[in-house]
């Protein structure tokens, strides 16, 4: 499976890599760490794997929400984490291939959707509560 994306910041120093991802979405009172764990876990492991497969022995992945710039969420991965990261990514890819998609409606995600209120209730769906 081919993944597309862009990195906000990538810095390399020898065997160490740093990825910083700036987030502009509203936290709506949630703690940045819980948002990263809930919404960006897969993205974080892809960033880590990309760095580790590119030759880094250590990759630090940092998220900074513009709404709370002093509450940075960081995780560091090393080559010993690679098998676990690959296993989690493979499981996610398998779910995608099987068509397993859980709806994650929100006011933000659904605001511009052409299906909203025509064929989908969006944020009013029970899964959104």
Half-sphere exposure of 43 (CA within 13 A, CB side): 19
Domain boundaries, the chain: 9-98, 103-129
Per-residue pLDDT, averaged over 105-127, amounts to 81
What digits encode the pLDDT tens for the residues 45-96?
Answer: 999 999 999 999 999 999 999 999 999 999 999 999 999 999 999 999 998 8
The sign of the torsion formed by the CA atoms of 105, 107, 111, 117 equals positive
pTM, entire model? 0.78
Half-sphere exposure of 109 (CA within 13 A, CB side): 11
Q: What is the mean pLDDT of the chain?
A: 90
Whether 49 contacts 82, CB under 8 Å = yes
Whether residue 18 is predicted with pLDDT greater than 90 in this model: the reply is yes
């Amino acid at each position: 499976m081919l993944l597309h994306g862009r990195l906000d910041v990538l810095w390399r120093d020898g065997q160490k890599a740093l990825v910083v991802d700036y987030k502009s979405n509203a936290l709506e009172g949630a703690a940045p760490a819980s948002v990263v764990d809930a919404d960006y876990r897969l993205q974080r492991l892809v960033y880590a794997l990309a760095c580790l497969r590119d030759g880094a022995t250590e990759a630090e992945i940092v998220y900074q929400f513009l709404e709370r710039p002093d509450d940075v969420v960081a995780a560091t991965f090393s080559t010993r984490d690679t098998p676990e990261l690959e296993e989690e990514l493979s499981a996610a890819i398998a779910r995608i291939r099987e068509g397993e998609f859980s709806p994650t409606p929100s006011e933000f995600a659904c605001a511009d959707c052409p299906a909203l209120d025509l064929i989908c209730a969006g944020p009013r769906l029970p899964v959104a509560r």
